[in-house]
Homo-oligomer: A and B are copies of this chain.
Amino acid sequence: SRSISLAVIPGDGIGQEVVAQGLKVLTAVLPQDVKLETKDYDLGARRWHATGETLPDAELAALRGHDAILLGAIGDPSVPSGVLERGLLLKLRFAFDHFVNLRPSKLFPNTETPLAGRPDIDFVVVREGTEGPYVGNGGSIRTGTPAEVANEVSVNTAYGVERVVRDAYERAQARPRKKLTLVHKNNVLVHAGHLWKNLFDRIGEEYPEVSTDYLHVDAATIFLVTDPERFDVIVTDNLFGDIITDLAAAVSGGIGLAASGNINPAGDFPSMFEPVHGSAPDIAGQGKADPTATVLSVALMLRHLGLEAEAARVEEAVTADLAERPADRTTEQTGDALAARVSG
């Protein structure tokens, strides 16, 4: 018998609603002999308004003791831009060394896509999670004056790039098509770009079965809409990954279906699983939010925790449910339907 200690950060807006359904499905899919213990952490906009805190040290330390973290959504228009992102969400990703930000894109049957012809989309983006322009290494002088200069530094290390590129090769190697595409902008960001490209080529020699490809990020956005079938695994930096995974979500069923894992593969820190979508305050509290992205994030979590059969059961339940899903289902009804399928 085994137990999972899960930290839950419902967060803001629809975060609360979707996380409840994610937990429902998780509970339903877990075998009898796996004990689930959850602990809620009240973090996000409400907490910040009430106390001014984003992520106190004591809570960061407590979070570290869990096996994994399930996060709903963080953010509200009432909080100045950047406060919760830098102070909470990115702080967690950096503190827990989530260097693999895993974002699969799959166009499920019977879902919406803006693309004509419904291409057969099934790829995964391995987005670097601890470097690049996300490091918070920026600043401004003469702020607010006509002489202001504001800089942002993208920091890239061989240490950081090698480990995420290696992870991406491993994932490509394990997939039927075994194809890995590096996305960067090495014709302009030449120093960071050469570091990425050199390591990508060098590590590739260790994976002779994996075919490789390089695309500038601008060209990658073109292919994501004109030929998304060409992609199998994509590896890219933190900012490019942010951009192309939103686009990837849009073409493959919408942001309501896009799951993600912020993963520390070695397990030195708890990994964190969250839907790609935001807190959507405009529909919060109405029972309208689609919890599927959260449920698919739970599947990624199960896989990360070694529960592969359970992960697959959740994904199969989602596939089956989407094929028959009525248009006007509530958040809770979708959670119930998925929970019924995984336990059935």
Contact = CB atoms under 8 A, between A and B. Distances in A.
A147 B138 contact: no
A145 B187 CA distance: 21
Contact of A153 (B152, B156, B193): B152
A116 B225 CA distance: 11
Interface in A199-254: 217-219, 221-222, 224-226, 239, 242-247, 249-251, 254
A3 interface: no
Interface residues of A, number: 68
A225 to B, nearest CB: 5
A265 interface: no
Contact of A190 (B86, B191, B193, B245): B86
Which 4 residue pairs of A and B lie closest in terms of their CB atoms, listed nearest first? A218-B246, A221-B247, A148-B158, A82-B190
Nearest to A119: B114
A249 B225 contact: no
A81 B186 contact: yes
Contact of A191 (B138, B198, B225): B138
Interface string A158-188: 1100100000000000000000000001111
Given A82-B188, A86-B188, A191-B140, A226 B250 contact: yes
Given A154-B133, A158-B147, A114 B225 contact: yes
A327 interface: no
Contacts of A158: 142, 145-149
